[in-house]
A and B are shown apart, each in its own frame.
Chain A
Amino acid sequence: MAKTFPIGGVHPSDNKQWSKSSAIETMELPDVVNIPLSQHIGTPATAIVKKGDKVVVGQKIAEATGFMSANIHAPISGTVTAVDLQPNGQGIRQMMITIKREDDVWDEAIDRSETLVTECNLEPKAIVEKIKDAGIVGMGGATFPTHVKLSIPEGKRAEILIINGVECEPYLTSDYRTMLERGEQLIVGTRILMRAIGVTNAVIGVEANKPDAVKHLQAIVGAATDIKVQMLKTQYPQGGEKQLIAAVTGRQVPAPPALPIDVGAVVCNASTAVAVYEAVQKNKPLIERVVTVTGAAVPSPKNLLTRFGTPVEALIAKCGGLAEGDVKVINGGPMMGRALSNIAMPVMKGCSGITIMVGSATVRGVESACIKCAKCVEACPMGLEPYLLSKQARKRAWDAMEANDITSCIECGCCQFTCPANIPLLDYVRLGKQTVMGIIRARNMKK
């Protein structure tokens, strides 16, 4: 039996058929880009360019603010026209750098040739430094700065590198296409990451609904024994970091504040591994990514290699535009993505796809009474009790929620997906989790 994670999980229709056979296409260069200073978890970067500055592709335009932050580079060449507040996908104004494009002039240090460079003799420290310089963050959606992940804390030891090629989120196919079309670079990137954290074996986890990706990567690895391509049973949320570690190694990461490294594991997304290859071997910072644009009503779904800052609406137009009427445009997939009210939002580092729902799929079902069927408890991959947590959140019973391990929630949405009464369980659980985390932070600060 194929491996999977130990508890819970659901089986949403994967709907990858819309875009899975579209080869990666390069999106036209935008004339103007807005580059948010916060595209990652942690402190926003600090702008180091000002209005009127000329920039080239790959030039650093914002610098990491402290350790838990990431550099940002110019995705196009041209003139900086503004560094100010612009609306994000939810219409909230955030600091962004606006660049008006002039041609496509690249930083000369970047190797733009297609030649595969497999050799890497850099010291681990130097690799991590290059990854940090390139502004690489987790591209699966969590946008955790990769150099932080690779800096193993004192006293901890990494034993295994896991490359996350699961892409359990329905609809999305950007990692899938990347594995198929950039497999060689992915494998080199994996070996560089192994070198960076000092491990001798890596596992690439891919779900059983992508057998061709498994076969392709296996063929590239060939007889080498350092990297194993592991097929996993298709089950959401297998791509969750803790679920993937458990599926591959059988080890369960304890409740927060424990981290994957506490069980000896470091997990990187498949597209991140390719970005690492480009950064370390080609001196290319993170300036573009593959974005899936998909949905049942999208005329021609595509996987588009897109420079950051390109407005989402340009991608949608490239795929045939929006149908008239009610729509829901989701940044990401339908299980964990965020619905957009502003489709002028720029594509960012964590944007793996744009999923478009139309008609009745845009609205939620009508909530009815909880029948205590326990389906949410059965579905929760963290072994929590969503029905209880949501009830406690409604009553603002924060202490009780903390005692019931609310901070372990990974917000995967399995509970709400499965609830026969259409109760917005995760809305309440999320609210409670944020409140409880705030309370815990305040308490720790007092100490």
Chain B
Amino acid sequence: MANKFFVSPAPHVHGDLSTTRLMGDVVIALLPALMVSVRVFGWNVLAITAVSIACCVLFEFLVQKYLVKGPATVGNLSAVVTGLLLAMNLPANIPLWIVVIGAVVAICIAKMPFGGLGKNIFNPALAARVFLLIAYPVQMTSFPKPTLEGFADAYSGATPLGAAKAGLVDFASFDIAGMFTGAMGGSFGEISALALLLGFVYLLMRRVISWHIPVAVIGTIIAFSAIYGATEGGALVWQMPLFHILSGGALLGAIFMATDYVTSPMTTKGMVIYGIGIGVITMCIRLWGAYPEGMSFAILIMNSTVPLINKYVKPKRFGAVK
């Protein structure tokens, strides 16, 4: 017979989604923020990013080949995303050997021992960042000044949140425009709200993520700081929320870290609960904790609640009796 008949159960067609495409879209969505960082902090940013990505991909390849002994998985680009996100959570003047250690923690401790992509409990890039923060506190918290000409060097060396913690911020006069466009100290991926929001719009348009987690996180931070601001009185009601969403890792975390598929809930209701949790914990740490920034800790803590959320928060079934 000239024909070979193929059989399989339905469906016989597949949509255009693939893991590689989704991961590739996340990389594209992060490019505006990366470009702003290069402009503000110089070429060093690219060196850190390159080392971070290269190490993550290499380590995943090696672990997969020699320890897991499974088919190569680096083609799905998830190690590239981890490397890129790890880099963007580091200061722009971090020594490169620390970046390598970060990649080891992200891939060889936080991701692969659980079984690789899809199995890890904690966001690998954030687990690595928190490890580095504890292991190398000096290098991880000395941020270079934004060097772009024309921007006021408002917080030379310190981050806005660090200044706020030390009681140095005058909420009536902080540089909103600078924080929006990238003229603030901090990990190099988090400095420009504008670039991050651009990435958010792209992710929504490509239907890579839904709005639930970012909106829940940011909404909670706004509500929490507005209430706190109100108790302090005066214009702080709106100044505090604005300061808290633009500073630190709020947007980078809400849009790119908290939405990591593997470590976030499966239902929209679950996503909202998870997002609110992140917002509340972040604000508690920022206002009353020892660290100036709490985003990383908040996301990691909420990561650990995801299996529980998935178990108890079910989607609304069709035809469920009201």
Q: Which residues of chain A have a CB within 8 Å of any CB of chain B?
A: 6-7, 10, 12, 90, 170, 242, 246, 252-255, 258, 322, 324-330, 332, 334-341, 343, 355, 357, 361-365, 368-375, 377-378, 380-385, 387-388, 404-405, 408, 411, 413, 416-422, 424, 426-427, 430
Known: A258-B319, A383-B317, A420-B22. A327 touches B10 (CB 8 A): no
Known: A6-B318, A7-B316, A334-B12. A340 touches B7 (CB 8 A): yes
On chain B, the number of residues with a Cβ less than 8 Å from chain A's Cβ atoms is 44
Q: Which residues of chain B have a CB within 8 Å of any CB of chain A?
A: 2-15, 17-19, 21-22, 73, 76, 78, 115-119, 210, 261-262, 264-268, 310, 314-321
Candidates A343, A361, A408; contact of B317 at CB < 8 Å: A408
Known A382-B317, A388-B310; 6 more pairs at CB < 8 Å: A7-B318, A252-B320, A326-B4, A328-B6, A383-B317, A385-B267
Interface hub of B9, B11, B76, B264 (most chain A Cβ within 10 A): B11
Q: State in angstroms the CA–CA spacing of A188 and B261 once bound together.
A: 52
Q: State in angstroms the CA–CA spacing of A369 and B118 once bound together.
A: 6
Candidates A364, A375, A381, A385; contact of B318 at CB < 8 Å: A381
Instruction: Report whether B321 and A254 are in contact in the complex, using a CB–CB cutoff of 8 Å.
Output: yes
Q: B6 to chain A: which residues have CB within 8 Å?
A: 326-328, 339, 357, 362-363
Candidates B10, B17, B118; contact of A372 at CB < 8 Å: B118
Instruction: Report whether B266 and A371 are in contact in the complex, using a CB–CB cutoff of 8 Å.
Output: no
The 10 closest A-B pairs by CB, nearest first: A413-B11, A339-B7, A362-B6, A420-B17, A383-B317, A252-B319, A369-B118, A334-B12, A334-B13, A254-B319
Q: B19 to chain A: which residues have CB within 8 Å?
A: 368, 371, 420-421
| B194: min CB distance to chain A, Å | 27
Interface hub of B13, B22, B210 (most chain A Cβ within 10 A): B13
Beta-carbon nearest neighbor of A419 in chain B: B17
Instruction: Report whether A12 and B13 are in contact in the complex, using a CB–CB cutoff of 8 Å.
Output: yes
Known: A337-B10, A368-B73. A382 touches B318 (CB 8 A): yes
Q: State in angstroms the CA–CA spacing of A322 and B1 once bound together.
A: 12
Interface hub of A326, A371, A384 (most chain B Cβ within 10 A): A371
| B90: min CB distance to chain A, Å | 25
| B308: min CB distance to chain A, Å | 14
Q: State in angstroms the CA–CA spacing of A332 and B13 once bound together.
A: 13
Q: A380 to chain B: which residues have CB within 8 Å?
A: 315
Instruction: Report whether A383 and B320 are in contact in the complex, using a CB–CB cutoff of 8 Å.
Output: yes
Q: B4 to chain A: which residues have CB within 8 Å?
A: 325-327
Query: Interface majority SS on A: helix, strand, loop or mixed?
Result: loop
A-B contact pairs, 23 of them (CB 8 A): A6-B318, A246-B318, A252-B320, A254-B321, A255-B317, A332-B10, A339-B8, A339-B9, A365-B14, A365-B18, A368-B76, A369-B119, A371-B118, A372-B261, A372-B262, A380-B315, A382-B318, A385-B315, A388-B266, A408-B318, A413-B10, A424-B9, A426-B9
Q: State in angstroms the CA–CA spacing of A388 and B19 once bound together.
A: 19
Q: State in angstroms the CA–CA spacing of A419 and B15 once bound together.
A: 8
Q: B265 to chain A: which residues have CB within 8 Å?
A: 374
Instruction: Report whether A427 and B13 are in contact in the complex, using a CB–CB cutoff of 8 Å.
Output: no
Beta-carbon nearest neighbor of A246 in chain B: B318
Beta-carbon nearest neighbor of B209 in chain A: A373
| B206: min CB distance to chain A, Å | 12
Instruction: Report whether A383 and B316 are in contact in the complex, using a CB–CB cutoff of 8 Å.
Output: yes
Instruction: Report whether A341 and B5 are in contact in the complex, using a CB–CB cutoff of 8 Å.
Output: yes
Q: A341 to chain B: which residues have CB within 8 Å?
A: 5, 7
Q: State in angstroms the CA–CA spacing of A378 and B266 once bound together.
A: 9
Interface hub of A329, A363, A373, A387 (most chain B Cβ within 10 A): A373
Instruction: Report whether B315 and A377 are in contact in the complex, using a CB–CB cutoff of 8 Å.
Output: yes
Candidates A10, A253, A336, A343; contact of B10 at CB < 8 Å: A336
Known: A328-B5, A371-B117, A421-B19. A339 touches B12 (CB 8 A): yes
Q: B21 to chain A: which residues have CB within 8 Å?
A: 420
Instruction: Report whether A422 and B14 are in contact in the complex, using a CB–CB cutoff of 8 Å.
Output: yes
Known: A242-B319, A254-B319, A371-B118. A336 touches B11 (CB 8 A): yes
Q: A421 to chain B: which residues have CB within 8 Å?
A: 18-19, 118
| A305: min CB distance to chain B, Å | 25
| B223: min CB distance to chain A, Å | 25
Candidates B11, B267, B314; contact of A374 at CB < 8 Å: B267
Instruction: Report whether A387 and B266 are in contact in the complex, using a CB–CB cutoff of 8 Å.
Output: yes
Instruction: Report whether B319 and A374 are in contact in the complex, using a CB–CB cutoff of 8 Å.
Output: no
Q: State in angstroms the CA–CA spacing of A381 and B266 once bound together.
A: 15
| B203: min CB distance to chain A, Å | 12
Beta-carbon nearest neighbor of B263 in chain A: A372
Q: State in angstroms the CA–CA spacing of A411 and B319 once bound together.
A: 16
Instruction: Report whether B261 and A374 are in contact in the complex, using a CB–CB cutoff of 8 Å.
Output: yes
| B153: min CB distance to chain A, Å | 42
| A148: min CB distance to chain B, Å | 21
Q: State in angstroms the CA–CA spacing of A195 and B152 once bound together.
A: 80
Q: State in angstroms the CA–CA spacing of A373 and B22 once bound together.
A: 9
Beta-carbon nearest neighbor of B271 in chain A: A374
Instruction: Report whether A364 and B14 are in contact in the complex, using a CB–CB cutoff of 8 Å.
Output: yes
Q: State in angstroms the CA–CA spacing of A371 and B19 once bound together.
A: 8
Known: A242-B318, A373-B22. A357 touches B5 (CB 8 A): no
Known: A362-B6, A371-B261. A377 touches B267 (CB 8 A): yes
Instruction: Report whether A328 and B316 are in contact in the complex, using a CB–CB cutoff of 8 Å.
Output: no
| B73: min CB distance to chain A, Å | 7
Interface hub of B5, B12, B14, B316 (most chain A Cβ within 10 A): B12
Q: State in angstroms the CA–CA spacing of A384 and B8 once bound together.
A: 23
| A168: min CB distance to chain B, Å | 13
Beta-carbon nearest neighbor of B17 in chain A: A420
Candidates A330, A369, A370, A384; contact of B12 at CB < 8 Å: A330
Instruction: Report whether A385 and B314 are in contact in the complex, using a CB–CB cutoff of 8 Å.
Output: yes
Q: State in angstroms the CA–CA spacing of A371 and B266 once bound together.
A: 11
Q: State in angstroms the CA–CA spacing of A420 and B314 once bound together.
A: 22
Q: State in angstroms the CA–CA spacing of A322 and B78 once bound together.
A: 41
Q: State in angstroms the CA–CA spacing of A373 and B260 once bound together.
A: 8
Interface hub of A170, A324, A326, A420 (most chain B Cβ within 10 A): A420
Known: A327-B5, A339-B8. A170 touches B266 (CB 8 A): no
Q: State in angstroms the CA–CA spacing of A326 and B5 once bound together.
A: 6
Instruction: Report whether B317 and A374 are in contact in the complex, using a CB–CB cutoff of 8 Å.
Output: no
Known: A326-B6, A343-B5. A335 touches B321 (CB 8 A): no
Beta-carbon nearest neighbor of A404 in chain B: B314
Instruction: Report whether A426 and B10 are in contact in the complex, using a CB–CB cutoff of 8 Å.
Output: yes
| B172: min CB distance to chain A, Å | 43
Instruction: Report whether A328 and B14 are in contact in the complex, using a CB–CB cutoff of 8 Å.
Output: no
Candidates B3, B14, B318; contact of A325 at CB < 8 Å: B3
